[in-house]
Structure formats: C-alpha cells, structure tokens
C-alpha cells in the first residue's frame, strides 16, 4: 500500500510544481530554487509530524494541525526569502510559497493516507499481495476519506497562493521580515481558521478557489517584466525530468521515514467513523 501512496503523493507534487513553473511565464524562477522550496516544505513538515507523534502518537494531520503547518510556513517564508535576489516581482512570492506548501502537503498526504486507506471499505484493493486494476483504484479514490484528504491539501495550496501574494507585495516594498511575517501569518491563519470553523464547507472552498485565482492573475498582470519577458532556461524537459525524479525520490524516502518513526494505523482503525461491513452469515443461519 505504501508504494501506491508515495507514488500518488509524488504525482500530485510533480503536477503542482509543473503548474507553478509554467504559470511564471514573464520571468521564470530557477527550477533549482523551486525544488529547494519543495524539499524545505517536505522536510519541515516531517519535523513537525515527528515532533507531534513523539508527544501524542501517530495522528491524522488535520484541523488545528493544518493551522500549525500554515503558521510555520508563513513565519519561515519572509525570513527564508529575505535578500533572495531572485525574488524581484510580486508573483515570485506565490511561486515559492506554493512550492513550499506543495512539499508540506506531500508529507501530510504520506502521513494521512495510510490511515485513510485503513478506514476505507475498499482497503483490500491495496492489501499486500493484491493486484488492483484501474477500476479498483478509481473506487478507492472516490471513498469519503480520500476526497476529504484531497480537500485538505487543496486548502493548504490555495492559502499559500494568498500568503505568497502578500509576501511578494510587501517584500518588493522593502518591508523587513519582522514586519512581513505577521501579515503573512494573519492571512494564512484567517483562511485556515475559517475553513476549520466551517468544517470544510464547499461554498467556502469554492470561494477560496476563485479568490486565489483572482489574486494570482491580478498579481501576474502587474509584473514588472510583462513588457520585457525573460526567456526560460534551456532544456526544460530535462529539468522537468530531474524534478520528477527528485520529487518521487523524496516521497519514497519520506514514506520510509514515516513508517520507521511514526506509529502506523492498524486495519481496524477508523478515524472517520466509517463502519466496515462484513460478509458474516446471519446468526440464524446455523453456521
């Protein structure tokens, strides 16, 4: 099961990094810095998970723990990108913020999905020795816990877009990290707090999606490089392949570390309150 989970998380992360790299079309950021931001988010989230699991044991990283993730990222980013010469337009804040959040979300999925799968009525599709086909995986992906997990990741990424827009704008205005960090924390905590209070209401998440897209487009239109776009680096396909290998390698390594350090769920764990139906014969059948 773990190899499927690591592959899925790696695939989502690779697609996310490709989207933000291609969206940054006026003055593309060096792919190495995007990779570094992703790995920083992945490593930082693993540290948080290990620290919490050492105190309270293995758990789903959800609810208030997602607020901790966003809070930590919002504090780190202004200091991590301070005096970074490559951050020379507002959209760059979004690029690095989303890459960092992508790494953190990858680690969250690697931690949460084993528990989601263990609670799913279709968990036998990924049992040791099973040979799931595409239909099995689609049914599994449509289970309630799985869609809830994807919704959590989506909110973290959308929040990163808004935090990144604030970060890029304030940093270009010359604000110090000590002034920028509280603003980023306020935006991130407000969005995640609203999602937590409303219980992941889909109206709120739909509005958040539209707001993030609007902000990203508005920030991009104000790029100082819009009238003189910079060429992309050469060998984009080769860099993309290297990025995919880095992402999948990091996902597999993180999965191994989580298996070794964090308490893993048993098949009868049910964090979502899903009742597992069995095929036991009725008591009156004489069996």
pLDDT of residue 184: 97
Summarised one tens digit per residue, pLDDT across range 151-204 is: 999 999 999 999 999 999 999 898 999 999 999 999 999 999 999 999 888 899
Percent of the chain exceeding pLDDT 90 equals 55
Nearest to 273 by CA among 125, 114, 145, 151: 145
Greater confidence (275 vs 68) lies with 68
- Please check the confidence at residue 120 and state whether its pLDDT lies above 60: yes
Summarised one tens digit per residue, pLDDT across range 11-35 is: 999 999 999 998 988 888 889 999 9
Greater confidence (63 vs 118) lies with 63
Could you give the CA distance from residue 66 to residue 196 in angstroms, rounded to a whole number? Answer: 9
- Average predicted confidence (pLDDT) for the chain: 85
pLDDT of residue 199: 87
- Please check the confidence at residue 270 and state whether its pLDDT lies above 80: no
How confident is residue 271, by pLDDT bands cut at 50, 70 and 90?
A: very low
| Location of structure tokens 């104000």 | 222
pLDDT of residue 79: 94
Q: Domain ranges in the chain?
A: 2-129+143-223+235-264
Average pLDDT, integer, range 280-286: 41
pLDDT of residue 82: 87
| 87 contact partners, CB below 8 Å, separation of at least 6 | 81, 93, 96, 168, 171, 172
| 244 contact partners, CB below 8 Å, separation of at least 6 | 10, 14
Greater confidence (268 vs 169) lies with 169
Check: pTM over 0.75? Answer yes or no. yes
């Amino acid at each position: 099961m773990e190899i499927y989970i690591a592959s899925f998380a790696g695939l989502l992360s690779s697609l996310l990094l490709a989207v933000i790299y291609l969206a940054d079309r006026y003055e593309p950021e060096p792919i190495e810095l995007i990779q570094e931001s992703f790995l920083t988010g992945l490593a930082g989230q693993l540290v948080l998970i290990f620290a919490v699991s050492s105190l309270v044991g293995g758990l789903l990283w959800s609810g208030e723990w997602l607020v901790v993730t966003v809070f930590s990222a919002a504090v780190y980013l202004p200091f991590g990108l301070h005096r970074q010469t490559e951050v020379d337009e507002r959209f760059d804040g979004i690029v690095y913020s989303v890459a960092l959040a992508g790494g953190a979300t990858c680690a969250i999925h690697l931690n949460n999905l084993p528990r989601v799968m263990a609670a799913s009525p279709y968990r036998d599709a990924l049992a040791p020795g099973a040979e799931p086909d595409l239909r099995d995986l689609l049914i599994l992906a449509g289970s309630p816990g799985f869609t809830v997990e994807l919704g959590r990741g989506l909110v973290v990424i959308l929040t990163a877009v808004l935090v990144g827009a604030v970060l890029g704008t304030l940093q270009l205005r010359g604000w110090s990290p000590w002034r920028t960090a509280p603003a980023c924390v306020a935006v991130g905590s407000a969005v995640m707090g609203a999602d937590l209070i409303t219980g992941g209401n889909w109206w709120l998440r739909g509005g958040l999606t539209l707001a993030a897209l609007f902000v990203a487009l508005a920030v991009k239109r104000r790029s100082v490089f819009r009238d003189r776009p910079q060429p992309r680096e050469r060998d984009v396909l080769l860099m993309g392949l290297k990025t995919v290998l880095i992402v999948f390698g990091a996902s597999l390594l993180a999965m191994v570390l989580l298996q070794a350090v964090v308490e893993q769920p048993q098949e009868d764990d049910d964090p979502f309150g899903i009742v597992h139906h069995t095929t036991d014969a009725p008591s009156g059948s004489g069996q």
